[in-house]
Amino acid sequence: MSVSQPVRPPRRRAPRNSLNPDRILDAALTLLDRDGSEAFTMRGLAQQLGVGTMAVYSHFRGKDEISDAVAQRLLDTIELPAGGSADPQTELREVCVGVYRLFTEHPSALELLADRPLRGDDAIALIDRMLGLLRQAGLAPADAAHAHVALMQYTVGSALWNTRRSRALCQEGARDRARAKLAALPRDTYPALVALAPELLCANSEGTGQFEYGLDGLLRGLLGGTAQV
Partner DNA sequence: ACCTGAACACCGTTCAAGT
Interface residues with DNA (CB under 7 A) are 10-11, 13-19, 40-44, 46, 51-55, 57-59, 62-64
Which among its own copies, DNA, none contacts residue 63 (Cβ within 5 to 8 A by kind)? DNA
Binding range to its own copies, per CB under 8 A, among 21-29, 48-56, 75-83, 124-132: 124-132
The alpha carbon of 171 is separated from its chain's Cα centroid by a whole number of angstroms, namely 20
Q: Print the SS3 string covering 25-78.
A: HHHHHHHHHHHCHHHCCHHHHHHHHCCCHHHHHHCCCCHHHHHHHHHHHHHCCC
Footprint (CB under 8 A) of its own copies, residues 192-211: 192-193, 195-196, 199-200, 202-204, 210-211
123 near its own copies, judged by CB under 8 A: no
Q: Tell me, by CB under 8 A, how many residues bind its own copies.
A: 65
Q: By the 8 A CB rule, do 182 and 201 touch?
A: yes
Burial class of residue 91, CB neighbours in 10 A (0-12, 13-18, 19+) = buried
Name the residue nearer to DNA (CB basis): 18 or 90.
18
Minimum CB separation from DNA for residue 13, in Å?
5
Minimum Å gap between C-beta 69 and its own copies is 17
Question: Does 179 participate in binding its own copies (rule CB under 8 A)?
Answer: no
Between residues 41 and 166, which has the closer beta carbon with respect to DNA?
A: 41
Amino acid of residue 70: V
Task: Kindly tell me which of 26 and 94 has the beta carbon lying closer to its own copies.
Answer: 94
CA distance 210 to 86: 23
| Beta carbon nearer to DNA, 41 or 208 | 41
Residue 154, phi-psi category: left (phi > 0), alpha (psi -120 to 50), beta (remainder): alpha
Q: How many of the other CB atoms lie within 10 Å of CB of 199?
A: 9
Q: How many other C-beta atoms can be found within 10 angstroms of the C-beta atom of residue 152?
A: 16
Does 42 bind its own copies (CB under 8 A)? Our answer is no
Query: Which residues, including other chains, have CB under 8 Å from residue 56's CB and lie 6 or more apart?
Result: 19, 24, 42, 45, 46, 49, 66
Q: Which of residues 50-79 bind its own copies (CB under 8 A)?
A: none
Question: Which CB atom, from 20 or from 90, has the smaller least distance to DNA?
Answer: 20
Q: Of 3 and 142, which has the nearer Cβ to DNA?
A: 3
Q: Is the CA virtual torsion 80, 86, 88, 91 positive or negative? A: negative
Partner interacting with residue 129 (select from its own copies, DNA, none; CB below 5-8 Å by kind): its own copies
Residues that bind its own copies (CB under 8 A): 89, 114-117, 119, 124-125, 127-129, 131-132, 135, 141-142, 144-158, 160-161, 164-165, 168, 178, 181, 185, 189-193, 195-196, 199-200, 202-204, 210-211, 213-214, 216-222, 224, 228-229
